[in-house]
Chains A and B, each alone.
Chain A
Amino acid sequence: MSPVPEPEPTGSLELRVARQGGRHVIAAQRHQGALRLLRPVYLDSSGQQCVIVVNPGGGYVGGDRYRLTAEVGEDASALVTTQSATKVYRTAGRGVLQEQRFIVADGAVLEVVLDPLIAYQDADYLQRTSAVVAPTGRLVLTDIVTPGWAPDGSPYRWRSVLLRTSLTRPAGEPIATDTLRLVPDEDGVAEHGFLGRRTHLGTLLAVAPELDRDAVEEVHRLLADREARVDGLRAGVSPLSSPGLAVRVLGPATEPVHELLLDVHAVLRSRWGSQPRLNLRKY
């Protein structure tokens, strides 16, 4: 018996960024269906290639399958972001699956700063991210989960939001696995202790040879300082088992969580270069 063929994805995008002299360019790309790139841009003078992914359909509906693959070659640098929030509409029947695969070569930088996830009432969303990072590669991933949208304005009305991220080395050894499973009916997501009475959840995962305990200390001081000045934030940071760190932020709205993650990101950038804090309003 032949295996059941994988259904064609609703949209897929593959791209490869390579270094050419002082600039970083898209050396190859292929897209299919409802997922494409805006014209590539440079956000600062570093030469880093910024890639903005758009879903022309505007949002995800039941049964949608998306596949995004980004590979950054040796010593190249790329930023992957989205044009607007990821909206997952009511999904009757089969849920939405987004698969992301990132490959970071030695000496390369890949920063994936995605817009917040807005899951509508009855939405079912599974995001599987796998990243393979070479020993001297640098990877930053950020995610924000909002309380979503419902006609009556109440939070957490989606069926299921599951974000699974695994970071490994090229030979397959695990660096870190992060699983966020938010199933409101089952888990009392809103109750204290799951999201600590906050509504928005931000995560930043980073792997880079420069991210030693001193870098983790610096990020900790930033988090503690911000908590003291902005109401409703609660955050934590921990080193990974390889040089790298994980940051979790709980907050009362998208903005303070997003700003804090960008500030953490700026600290990380200062550890391996001189690139300024990311300013997405420039494009």
Chain B
Amino acid sequence: MVSLGSGLLAVLQFADSALPTGAFSQSLGLETAIDDEAVHDETTFRAWLRRFLHHQLAPADGWAIRAIVRDGADPLEVDAALHAMTLPVQVRDGNAAMGRRAAQIAEQNFSGPAAQAYTTALGRGEVIGSVPVVLALLARDHGTGWEDACAAHLFTSLTSLTQNAVRGIPIGQNAGQRVLRAMHPEVEAALERIAAMTDDEVGAVSPALEIDQMRHSWQRARMFMS
């Protein structure tokens, strides 16, 4: 008898950079960094992506998944906290749009009690919507461990941005794969940090990255929505 990890296929389908939530259209400050020539090749992109992982994804999305799956936090409160800690408006709006779309996909394909309650709250306008919250609820419903769900979400977010870098900088597809492989130990380090993260550290993002995300609203020619 073949045995797969709890919810493995659900997580693979859901935490996929091709999930139609519009993730590909979010540059999350990368376009500003490319425009300003701070990111211009494989090396500078790898450094940017590493910072993005540790100083944006881990303290926000990573914490959210841990809080819901491991600590049993109220997903409605986590959803509100995630939006409050995202100061750049384009990122906040982008997260909300993707979160609503992700909730729809989850409801149609992976219905479980936790995801269902969240979708109902979303319908009533009690929550704003957030992809990591939906993934965490899916993990709750399928018995997936928080580390697996979290690693899947962090890595797929890095994959999305790498696909953007491959086209946007541009760097070659092979360089993109090298960068992603180099992120494996970084994702593990991020999980260690998320596991031990205190309430005071939640949402601590890089100020320079935030400024890039804020400035994107006023960029003259934009490839991406955020």
Q: Which residues of A contact B (CB under 8 A)?
A: 126, 128, 162, 164, 166, 173-181, 187, 192-196, 201, 203, 220, 224, 234-241, 246, 248, 250
Say yes or no: A174 contacts B201, CB within 8 Å: no
Query: What is the count of residue pairs linking A and B with beta-carbon distances less than 8 angstroms?
Result: 97
Interchain CB contact (< 8 A) of B201 among A181, A236, A237: A181
Chain A residues lying within 8 Å of B59, measured Cβ to Cβ, are 179, 181
B194 CB, nearest partner CB in chain A, Å: 14
Q: Is the CB of A162 within 8 A of B210?
A: no
Min CB distance B94 to A, Å, is 13
Contacting residues, chain A, for B38 (C-beta < 8 A)? 192-193
A181 to B201, CA, bound (A): 7
Query: Contact between B203 and A236 (Cβ–Cβ < 8 Å)?
Result: no
* Closest CB in chain A relative to B114 CB, distance in Å: 22
Query: Contact at B200–A179, with CB atoms within 8 Å?
Result: yes
B221 part of interface (Cβ distance < 8 Å): no
Question: In the complex, what residues of A have CB within 8 A of residue B83's CB?
Answer: 174, 241
1/0 per residue, CB under 8 A from A, across B192-226: the answer is 00000000111111111111111101100000000
Top 6 A-B residue pairs of the complex, sorted by shortest distance between their CB atoms: A236-B214, A181-B204, A174-B84, A196-B208, A236-B211, A179-B204
How far is A250 from B215 in the complex, measured between Cα atoms in Å? 13
Complex CA–CA separation, A203 to B211 (angstroms): 11
Q: Indicate whether B88 reaches chain A with its CB closer than 8 angstroms.
A: yes
List chain B residues, Cβ under 8 A from A192: 38, 47, 208
List, in ascending order, chain A residues with CB within 8 A of B121's CB. Answer: none
Say which one of B14-22, B48-56, B147-155, B157-165 lies at the interface with A: B48-56
18 contacts between A and B (CB under 8 A): A162-B201, A162-B204, A174-B81, A176-B84, A176-B85, A177-B81, A178-B85, A178-B203, A179-B202, A192-B47, A192-B208, A193-B206, A194-B51, A194-B208, A237-B214, A238-B87, A248-B214, A250-B211
Most buried by A among B38, B87, B200: B87
A193 near B47 (CB under 8 angstroms)? yes
B39 nearest CB across to chain A (Å): 9
B203: which A residues are within 8 A, CB to CB? 177-179
Give bound CA distance, A248 to B88, whole Å: 10
Interface size class of chain B, counting residues whose CB lies under 8 Å from the partner chain: 35 or more
Q: Could you tell me if B54 and A187 are in contact, using CB atoms closer than 8 angstroms?
A: yes
In the complex, per-residue mask of B57-95: 1 if CB is within 8 Å of any chain A CB, else 0: 001000000000000000000001101110111101000
Taking chain A's interface residues, is the majority helix, strand, or loop, or is none over half, making it mixed?
Answer: strand
Tell me, rounded to whole Å, the shortest Cβ–Cβ distance linking A189 to chain B.
9
Cβ contacts under 8 Å, B89 to chain A: 238-239
**Residue contact B80 to A173, C-beta cutoff 8 Å:** yes
Q: Decide if B210 touches A236 in the complex (CB within 8 Å).
A: yes
Q: Which residues of B contact A194 (CB under 8 A)?
A: 51, 55, 206-208
Pick from B85, B208, B218: contact of A179, CB under 8 Å: B85
Task: Establish whether residues A176 and B87, one from each chain, have CB atoms under 8 Å apart when the complex forms.
Answer: yes
CA–CA, A179 and B82, complex, Å: 12
Q: A238-B217, A241-B84 are in contact. List 16 more A-B contacts (CB 8 A).
A: A162-B204, A176-B84, A176-B87, A178-B203, A179-B203, A179-B204, A187-B55, A193-B48, A193-B208, A193-B209, A195-B208, A234-B208, A238-B90, A246-B87, A248-B207, A250-B208
Give, as a whole number of angstroms, the nearest-CB distance from B81 to chain A.
7
Name the residue among B59, B213, B215 with the largest chain A CB count within 10 angstroms. B215
Selected from B47, B202, B212, the residue in CB contact (under 8 A) with A236 is: B212
